[in-house]
Structure 1
């Protein structure tokens, strides 16, 4: 597919863009595409809720989109490592775009039903499960190691666009052009992202000893991603910590809307959501300029504790002002935490297994929201809200501090989730493997100068697998001694 896709372009090599410029073009295309996806996500939610009036059917849209990432994540990671990463991104964008376009077609034909939206969203999520692992793994090959922190900040901004910009735009477009029009705009954004991929070059990952060890059947390679993490306790501890904190923070995200609506209008809800979400943008911009410190784990630990504190503050009072200030500070920390975590994984994981490893990590990350979606409603309605009524069991204790009545049970749940985030992070600080993961694990990113050194020292290296590939590949059985030992020799 790759040869067909670029055959005419390769005749004129000046049209091929690589390195940092190529990444920035991909970043721009994905930014536009993510905003388009956000438009469709908002429009579908409004259409389903207006048609059914059922919150459960509305929430199932998110579940069917996330579910493929959990079920197919390991397989997607294997394909990212097996295939050319640009081709993988092309397939992901094209498949996701066509799945979305089918909704508009069925809608215009007058046969759109809620069940078909679930099917289309599931297919879109399946193709989309290739997108982030392939883009993150490609970024490692395109960007100098010293710039990974700043580019990770830019990656956070890509995902923020669909939550900060799309809802505002989609709200107005829904009245004028309707669901079909919004979906067509979304499809056009996929075409933009795909077109950009035709003109950029993403190097293939260098073959490493770790990659050779993970070769086998598709199933064996998918499992290898988990084995790779398990064999590195520092990375495993980091993944577990983020899985727990993702559960607690996602609980606050799910319950943010009912918390505000328990005492304020929908207009104030929209204002609060926009102001709180702006923290994501500020944090992403800060990381894209700063890049983060040399040692990232201490910064992450401090900010995760602060995230827990700010989440706790959101639940203290039924006050839009307090919620906005606390929510802004909480969301400000998230892009810095997330991008710092991403840089650690990009530096410490061998480039030719990053697809598998990143997909396993993403699978665990996406699994926790599914648990949250399942228990957030019952936990709030059946447990915490009754406890905080005027005659509730906690009215005389926590009720004196947080207040009593509608929404105060959700406020208590925010406090609990914030404190739990702080506690889990503090426990994580006790793990020496987690604290020292940056020192104990050597960097796995191989620079271009190291590539040249490998080529000179290994006469058995093979030429590039494609005419335009600048990276040299070695037969796995010839890759002895391991690369770290080879590169350390004079």
Structure 2
């Protein structure tokens, strides 16, 4: 009976999240196209990425404290509602004829605030809904859902931005949020037992943040896992931002080629999620994490190395990168869900998102300068090879390799 119960709950959540993710992906891609075609500037794309990441990084640790204290279902509902309201305000502003970059930055920042609560709450709720031996499979299915949305989203976004104004396209995000909220109303998400629950004073909030930090740093394996992830993300983030410019400037593409690259990346992620969701590999998860760093780094480095007339090879490398990213994300998430107690997961996930994002923002500040100084292609090669080194060093870190071993 419990088997059918948790599967039914996940099915309802997945349907709502899928439709919401498709609409969000469409809006995000439409904004990227709009910025790329309007400005063609690596700096503008970098600043938009910073606007989308900085609020989440700053408030993330504080959000995690309250996620572990509050009803996680309500946190997700209110986070979605907040994002929808902010998007509605921005859409109205665009209707009034104000389509400035500043408004785009504000929109991305406000959406980031909602994500700071929604994403960790969702990840922290999963272990409360499913058996531990199913977590990797669920992570794989989650990756598939995100991947399919990243296929349909760019296609829908490219179509929408071609037919409608940017203000009209924002309505897709509002509709998606309504669907996600509606699906959550039909499920029950239990909360873990909370030990030593105290009033949320300023001192207690900092104490709880310290608990989340200690959960990471007190275990050498997890500390190394976080460290390598921070370094890899520091390299990946600038490349993710200038990906559209590689398609536009180096390969001479346009809207169609940008859509193809986004869709192929999503196809790769579907394949990666499918491998985990269907076959449930017996390979230790830490080996999956390290190996995917190496594969992703090679794919990115080669993307910068190949000549401009090899667009189809670029498409293939993008698909390989999508597979690697999907498997990495699922394996990394499952390691945390298995290693950290459920009542502290909200704080740990929020702490992780902040730890990994803040250094990336520093890298993004120099994205425009680096891309203009040494070229987009060389930037891809240098940072891609750096990610390969992260994967190689990970295999030679004993504490990291011991993660998941039975004591």
| TM-score, normalised with respect to structure 2 | 0.89
Q: CA deviation at 1:412?
A: 3.0
Whole-Å separation in 2 of the counterparts to 1:119 and 1:251: 20
Whole-Å separation in 1 of the counterparts to 2:195 and 2:234: 34
- Match among 44, 47, 52 for residue 60 of structure 1: 47
Task: Give the stretch that moved more between structures: 334-343 or 160-169.
Answer: 160-169
- Match among 25, 33, 41 for residue 28 of structure 2: 41
Change (3 A) 1:315 1:202: same
Q: CA deviation at 1:311?
A: 2.5
Which residue number in structure 2 is paired with residue 480 of structure 1? none
Q: CA deviation at 1:54?
A: 5.7
Q: Which structure has the larger Rg?
A: 1
- Cα pair 1:18 1:142 within 8 Å, conserved: no
Q: CA deviation at 1:128?
A: 1.6
Q: CA deviation at 1:51?
A: 6.2
Whole-Å separation in 1 of the counterparts to 2:24 and 2:349: 22
Q: CA deviation at 1:39?
A: 2.4
Whole-Å separation in 2 of the counterparts to 1:83 and 1:201: 14
- Structure with a larger share of its residues in helix: 2
- Match among 207, 210, 214 for residue 220 of structure 1: 207
Which residue number in structure 2 is paired with residue 431 of structure 1? 397
Change (3 A) 1:249 1:303: same
Change (3 A) 1:102 1:269: closer
- Cα pair 1:103 1:112 within 8 Å, conserved: no
- Match among 346, 351, 355 for residue 360 of structure 1: 351
Match status 1:167 vs 2:154: yes
- Cα pair 1:173 1:182 within 8 Å, conserved: yes
CA-based RMSD: 2.6
Which residue number in structure 2 is paired with residue 417 of structure 1? 383
Which residue number in structure 2 is paired with residue 148 of structure 1? 135
Which residue number in structure 2 is paired with residue 376 of structure 1? 367
Change (3 A) 1:167 1:91: same
Which residue number in structure 2 is paired with residue 32 of structure 1? 19
Whole-Å separation in 1 of the counterparts to 2:22 and 2:298: 31
Whole-Å separation in 1 of the counterparts to 2:388 and 2:49: 27
Which residue number in structure 2 is paired with residue 256 of structure 1? 243
Change (3 A) 1:26 1:123: same
Whole-Å separation in 1 of the counterparts to 2:162 and 2:303: 33
| TM-score, normalised with respect to structure 1 | 0.75
Change (3 A) 1:221 1:18: farther
Whole-Å separation in 2 of the counterparts to 1:120 and 1:432: 44
Match status 1:340 vs 2:331: yes
- Match among 69, 80, 89 for residue 82 of structure 1: 69
- Cα pair 2:87 2:170 within 8 Å, conserved: yes
Whole-Å separation in 2 of the counterparts to 1:106 and 1:82: 36
Which residue number in structure 1 is paired with residue 230 of structure 2? 243
Which residue number in structure 2 is paired with residue 291 of structure 1? 280
Q: Cα deviation per residue 1:255-295 (whole Å; 9 max; x = unaligned)?
A: 33333322433244443443344211211222221233262
**Which structure 2 segments of 5+ residues have no match?**
none
Change (3 A) 1:45 1:353: same
**Which structure 1 segments of 5+ residues have no match?**
1-16, 386-409, 443-490
- Match among 276, 280, 284 for residue 269 of structure 2: 280
Match status 1:312 vs 2:301: yes
Whole-Å separation in 1 of the counterparts to 2:171 and 2:288: 42
- Cα pair 1:94 1:190 within 8 Å, conserved: yes
Question: Between Structure 1 and Structure 2, how many residues are aligned?
Answer: 398
Which residue number in structure 1 is paired with residue 105 of structure 2? 118
Q: Cα deviation per residue 1:175-214 (whole Å; 9 max; x = unaligned)?
A: 43433332223211111111111110001113469x89x9
Which residue number in structure 2 is paired with residue 323 of structure 1? 314
- Cα pair 2:46 2:367 within 8 Å, conserved: no
Q: CA deviation at 1:75?
A: 0.8
Q: Cα deviation per residue 1:152-174 (whole Å; 9 max; x = unaligned)?
A: 11222343345322221122222
Q: CA deviation at 1:18?
A: 5.2
Whole-Å separation in 2 of the counterparts to 1:272 and 1:40: 16
Secondary structure of 2:252's aligned partner: coil
Comparing both chains, which one has the higher relative contact order based on Cα–Cα distances under 8 Å and sequence gaps of 6 or more? 2
